[in-house]
């Protein structure tokens, strides 16, 4: 193992002294009731807390966040989180035939009041830099989806040159991104190139449920934190990692 590599686990071991603990979840799709969330300093959700994309699901998710005792909660949207995509919400609601239409500005304002919401933005916590982005390739019209992968690649161009913890909904190509039905990689090649450019310590993502788990490649630990399987059942456990406290 290379010096400085981060090795995730499922929270079985106590947090080392003078460390912070980051707990990772994704793709909960409203299945948070009864979900056992390990204690930690930061809870990260990398998208798809909704399933049908209606306002009641966002409200339920906010109640879940409020029930967690982590000092900070970081949230990135996914392709099912329709009300958070302000620019695309009207078209998504029309295509999906949503009867529960909402004011996406109000929904997003309420969510932001309950967490650190990252949408092509960053945060500094405990001396570490975080950056979050919600975009994924469009296979079915959803929130924050882009049909042309080259256009999707332009979104990654806005990432800072140095990020400690990268959070996206999309996986990068060849990292925990194989769709079990089509048996093909569904991650973005341009995102994979961007991760290699910025060399984060950890890249947290989801989207491809069956990719749950982690890989360690070079300087970067890749974590697919999906909780639900392909049938939207919450069969996977939150993934945990620890970092030396910097401040």
In a domain, 12, yes or no: no
Q: Provide the residue range defining the domain that includes 160.
A: 19-244
Q: Decide if 206 contacts 47 (C-beta within 8 A).
A: yes
The stretch 30-43 carries a mean pLDDT of 96
In a domain, 5, yes or no: no
Q: At residue 87, does pLDDT exceed 90?
A: yes
What is the band of 1 on the pLDDT scale with cuts at 50, 70, 90?
Answer: very low
Q: At what angle do helices 55-67 and 104-112 cross, to 10 degrees?
A: 10
Q: Decide if 135 contacts 169 (C-beta within 8 A).
A: yes
The stretch 42-61 carries a mean pLDDT of 95
In a domain, 112, yes or no: yes
The stretch 125-141 carries a mean pLDDT of 94
In a domain, 10, yes or no: no
Summarize pLDDT for 207-242 with one digit per residue, the tens. Answer: 999 999 999 999 999 999 999 999 999 999 999 999
In a domain, 31, yes or no: yes
What is the band of 3 on the pLDDT scale with cuts at 50, 70, 90?
Answer: low
In a domain, 130, yes or no: yes
| Domain containing residue 157: CATH number | 3.60.21.10
Which phi and psi (to 5°) does residue 242 adopt?
Answer: -120, 145
Q: What is the pLDDT of residue 20?
A: 98
Give the DSSP letter of residue 188: B
Total domains present in the chain: 1
- The better pLDDT of the pair 180, 240 is held by 240
Q: What is the pLDDT of residue 183?
A: 86
Q: How many CA atoms lie within 13 A of 170 on its CB side?
A: 28
User: How wide is the angle at C-alpha 124 spanned by C-alphas 120 and 130, nearest 5°?
Assistant: 45
In a domain, 50, yes or no: yes
Cα(212)–Cα(25) distance, integer angstroms? 10
Number of residues written out for the chain: 247
In a domain, 36, yes or no: yes
The stretch 47-71 carries a mean pLDDT of 95
Q: At residue 21, does pLDDT exceed 70?
A: yes
């Amino acid at each position: 193992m290379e010096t400085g590599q981060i090795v995730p686990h499922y929270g079985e071991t106590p947090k080392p002294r003078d460390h912070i603990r980051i707990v990772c979840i994704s793709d909960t799709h409203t299945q948070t009731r009864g979900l056992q969330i390990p204690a930690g300093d930061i809870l990260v959700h990398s998208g798809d807390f909704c399933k049908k994309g209606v306002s009641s699901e966002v409200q339920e998710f906010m109640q879940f966040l409020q029930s967690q005792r982590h000092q900070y909660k970081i949230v990135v949207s996914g392709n099912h989180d329709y009300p958070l995509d302000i620019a695309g919400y009207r078209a998504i609601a029309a295509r999906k035939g949503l009867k529960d239409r909402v004011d996406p500005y109000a929904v997003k304002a309420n969510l932001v009041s309950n967490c650190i919401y990252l949408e092509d933005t960053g945060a500094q916590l405990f001396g570490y830099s975080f950056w979050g982005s919600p975009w994924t390739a469009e296979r079915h019209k959803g929130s924050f989806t882009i049909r042309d992968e080259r256009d999707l690649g332009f979104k990654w161009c806005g990432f800072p040159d140095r990020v400690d913890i990268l959070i996206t909904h999309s996986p990068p190509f060849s990292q925990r991104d194989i769709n079990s039905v089509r048996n093909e990689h569904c991650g973005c090649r341009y995102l994979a190139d961007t991760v290699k450019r910025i060399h984060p310590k950890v890249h947290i993502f989801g989207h491809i449920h069956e990719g749950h788990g982690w890989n360690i490649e070079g300087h970067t630990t890749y974590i697919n934190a999906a909780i639900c399987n392909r049938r939207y059942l919450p069969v996977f456990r939150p993934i945990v990692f620890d970092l030396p406290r910097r401040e």
